[in-house]
Amino acid sequence: MKVLHFFKTYWPDSFGGVERTIHAIAQSTARHGIETEVLSLSRTPDEATQHFDGHVARKAKLDFELASTGFSRDVFRKFAALSRTADLIHYHFPWPLMDVVHFQSGHSKPTVVTYHSDIVKQRFILPFYRPLMTRFLRDVDAIVATSPDYLESSPVLRAFKAKSKVIPIGIDEDAYPIPTEADNDWCRSMVTEPYVLFVGVLRYYKGLDILIQAADQVRCKIVIAGSGPIERQLKLQAETLRRDNVIFLGEVTEPRKMVLLHNCLGFVFPSNQRSEAYGLSLVEAAMCGKPLISCELGTGTSYVNESGKTGLVVRPSDPSRLAEAINRLIHSPLEAAKWGKAARDRYVRLFTADRMGKSYAELYHRLDSHRR
């Protein structure tokens, strides 16, 4: 069975949360006989086929971007050609141009939408986009929510609950590198004291400004690994407030990310807006058996991190509560170890790539048989 994934960005141009999810779906469904192509936009499209971990990444020319939405004239032609040879189309929401391409192509293939997030930051465009969005979601055959929490809390998803299915995003432990002794030496040289860890892209909704505010009440080091649009702003905040226990490591390699995860006291994920729909970094930390701290957003973060069982869930944008949660990890090591074990058990039970791939493959085949 041949599946075409469609999203605005993908490797090698970008490899953020949605792109990593598409990659994990492609790899995990391949074990169930699914052949994957991914169509996305690029400023420098290469006509040559690009093979990536067993599937094919194809590009259409990106003309311009507006309100985080990529636009392309070329994508209409490319999508029409690729959809003709596909057995099923897998869309990744939100991307308004995708809805237009879907209707313009007039294809009759079975369709799945993975609903990654409500439109949060660009709310000003929502009144104009809503009619098209509603028509698109009504037209597709199935909608996948990445957590039961998001399915219940999203007003858009609630309207389509009858055709929605929950498939949590899973990751493959075997795909992650095993740190070398050199990686361990690097970690010991960079962080010489006990620490809690954040890993991710430094964006406005990650709540890292709140974490920096909380740092003066925290009794350990706070390591922030990653880069992003607000990196300079966060470093300036830490310097101005004299938060000497905050360590910025910048972008790190996958082996170094893993050694940081294995050596930390716990994982802190202070995202404070619904733009954080799931939190793949939380799943990675759970895979490593680490206790988790996150904020209650009504999204998938509180599905990955089950409050009181795999860690602590606190009120968003509250530095004092965040600091209290971190200090509890430090002062209650037995409790923290129990949460870490429970996080690992929850990963094995709910968040493996095998489980996700099997669920998607079953959905694909069911939709394909219904259409036939």
Q: How far is it, in rounded angstroms, from Cα 90 to Cα 21?
A: 12
- Looking at the fold, whether 112 and 159 belong to one and the same domain comes out as yes
- Looking at the fold, whether 167 and 210 belong to one and the same domain comes out as no
- Looking at the fold, whether 252 and 210 belong to one and the same domain comes out as yes
Tens digit of each residue's pLDDT (9 = 90 or more) over 108-152: 999 999 999 998 777 677 788 999 999 999 999 999 999 999 999
Question: What's the whole-number mean pLDDT along residues 8-34?
Answer: 93
Domain of residue 95 covers 2-171+352-371
What is the model's pLDDT at position 48? 63
What is the model's pLDDT at position 155? 93
Residue 292 corresponds to which tokens in the numbers above? 């988790």
* CATH number for the domain that contains residue 297: 3.40.50.2000
What is the model's pLDDT at position 17? 85
- Looking at the fold, whether 186 and 200 belong to one and the same domain comes out as yes
- Looking at the fold, whether 283 and 222 belong to one and the same domain comes out as yes
Tens digit of each residue's pLDDT (9 = 90 or more) over 30-49: 999 999 999 999 998 876 67
Residue 264 has pLDDT above 70, yes or no: yes
- Looking at the fold, whether 129 and 195 belong to one and the same domain comes out as no
- Looking at the fold, whether 143 and 260 belong to one and the same domain comes out as no
- Looking at the fold, whether 87 and 67 belong to one and the same domain comes out as yes
Using DSSP, state whether 38 is helix, strand or coil.
strand
> What is 114-183 written as a DSSP string?
EE-----TTGGGHHHHHHHHHHHHHHSSEEEES-HHHHHH-HHHHTTGGGEEE----B-GGGSPPPPHHH
Question: What's the whole-number mean pLDDT along residues 51-78?
Answer: 92
**Before 12, cis peptide (omega within 30)?**
yes
Question: What's the whole-number mean pLDDT along residues 262-289?
Answer: 96
- Looking at the fold, whether 239 and 166 belong to one and the same domain comes out as no
What is the pTM (predicted TM-score) of this model? Answer: 0.92
* pLDDT grade for 14, boundaries at 50, 70 and 90: confident
Question: What's the whole-number mean pLDDT along residues 238-251?
Answer: 98
Evaluated on CA atoms 305, 307, 313, 315, the torsion sign reads positive
Question: What's the whole-number mean pLDDT along residues 224-240?
Answer: 97
Using DSSP, state whether 110 is helix, strand or coil.
coil
Tens digit of each residue's pLDDT (9 = 90 or more) over 285-342: 999 999 999 999 999 999 999 999 999 999 999 999 999 999 999 999 999 999 999 9
What is the model's pLDDT at position 47? 66
How many residues are there in the chain?
372
Q: Assess contact for 58 and 206: CB atoms under 8 A.
A: no
How many structural domains are present in the chain? 2
- Looking at the fold, whether 314 and 361 belong to one and the same domain comes out as no
Q: Assess contact for 147 and 278: CB atoms under 8 A.
A: yes
- Looking at the fold, whether 86 and 229 belong to one and the same domain comes out as no
- Looking at the fold, whether 191 and 123 belong to one and the same domain comes out as no
